[in-house]
Amino acid sequence: MKIQGLAIIAIIIILPMSIILNSYSTNQIKTLDLQIQYDSKLKNATYDAIKAFQLNMSNSSTSDLADSKMRDIKASINTFYNSLSNHFNMYGYGKDVLQNYVPAIVYTLYDGYYIYSSYNNTLDKDDTFDENATYKDGENIYGLKPYIYYSCRYKPNLNSDFTIIYSLDSYITIQGTLNGEPINKSGYLLSNVTREGSPGNYTYKYNNIPITAESDLSQNVYVEGDLSGNIVNGNNQQVGSIKSYPCRKINGVKYYSDGTNVFSIINDKRYNQSDVNIENITTNTNAIKYYEDAYEFTNFVKNNLNNLKVTDAVDSNGKKYTDLGNDNPYYDYGNIFGELTSGDKSIEDENSNFNGHRLDVIKNSIESNLMVAIANYNKVSTSEVNFQMPKLEDTEWEQITQNVSMITFLQGLNIGGKIYNGHSIISNNVNEDFVSEDSIYISDGSEYHRITENNLSNIIDINNAKGYFNVDFERRTGTVSYRSQNEDKTYSKTIYYYPKGELASYNSIIDANSNSSSGGKSISEYVKELANGGVTTNDGKLAQLYYTALGRERYGMYRVTNKLEEVQEILMKE
Interval 469-517: pLDDT, tens = 999 999 988 877 776 666 667 777 788 899 999 999 888 877 665 566 7
Name the packing angle between helices 286-304 and 538-556 (round to 10°): 80
Q: Does the pLDDT value for residue 122 go beyond 80?
A: no
Would the pLDDT of 227 be above 60?
A: no
For residues 286-296, give the mean pLDDT: 96
Name the pLDDT band for 254 (thresholds 50, 70, 90): very high
**275 compared with 225, residue with greater pLDDT:** 275
Tell me, what's the pLDDT at 367? 94
Q: How many CA atoms lie within 13 A of 121 on its CB side?
A: 13
Residue range 443-461, pLDDT digits in tens: 999 899 999 998 899 999 9
Average pLDDT over residues 460-473: 94
Q: Residue 8: is its pLDDT beyond 90?
A: no
HEC-encoded secondary structure of 333-388: CCECCCHHHHCCCCCCCCCCHHHHHHHHHHHHHHHHHHHHHHHHHHHHCCCCCCCC
Order of strands across the sheet with 193-196?
193-196, 203-206, 209-211
**How far apart are alpha carbons 443 and 460 in whole angstroms?**
8
The rounded distance, in Å, linking the Cα atoms of 3 and 7 is 6
Distance of CA 362 to the CA centre of its chain: 13
Closest CA to 242 of 503, 496, 444: 496
pLDDT band with cut points at 50, 70 and 90 for residue 203:
very high
Which secondary-structure segment (H or E) carries 206? strand 203-206
Neighbours of 406 (CB within 10 A): 25
pLDDT digits (tens, 9 = 90+) for 530-565: 999 889 999 999 999 999 999 999 999 988 877 777
The DSSP bridge pattern shows strands 447-450 and 503-504 to be: parallel
**Pairing of the two strands 218-223 and 203-206:** unpaired
Q: Which runs of consecutive H residues, i.e. helices, occur in 59-153?
A: 66-88, 95-99
How far is residue 509's CA from residue 428's CA, in Å, rounded to a whole number? Answer: 16
Instruction: Tell me the mean pLDDT in the region 69-88.
Output: 90
Summarised one tens digit per residue, pLDDT across range 153-185 is 999 999 999 999 999 999 999 999 999 999 999
- Over the chain, what is the mean pLDDT? 85
SS3 542: helix
Counting other chains too, the contacts that 35-42 makes at CB distance below 8 Å and 24 or more residues apart are 35/415, 35/420, 35/422, 38/410, 38/413, 38/415, 38/420, 38/422, 39/422, 39/424, 41/84, 41/87, 41/88, 42/84, 42/408, 42/410, 42/422, 42/423, 42/424
pLDDT at 79: 93
Per-residue confidence band for 574, with pLDDT thresholds at 50, 70 and 90? very low
Map out the domains of the chain as residue ranges. 3-123+137-149+383-428, 214-284+436-556
pLDDT recorded at residue 244: 94
Is the pLDDT at 12 greater than 90, yes or no?
Answer: no
Tell me which residue of 526, 372, 337, 354 sits closest to 438, measured CA to CA: 526
For 77, half-sphere exposure in the C-beta direction (CA atoms, 13 angstrom radius) is 22
Query: Over pLDDT 70: what percentage of the chain?
Result: 83
pLDDT band at residue 13, thresholds of 50, 70 and 90? low
**CB count, 10 Å around CB of 300?**
14
- In the beta sheet, which residues pair with residue 484? 235, 489
Mean pLDDT of 386-402: 91
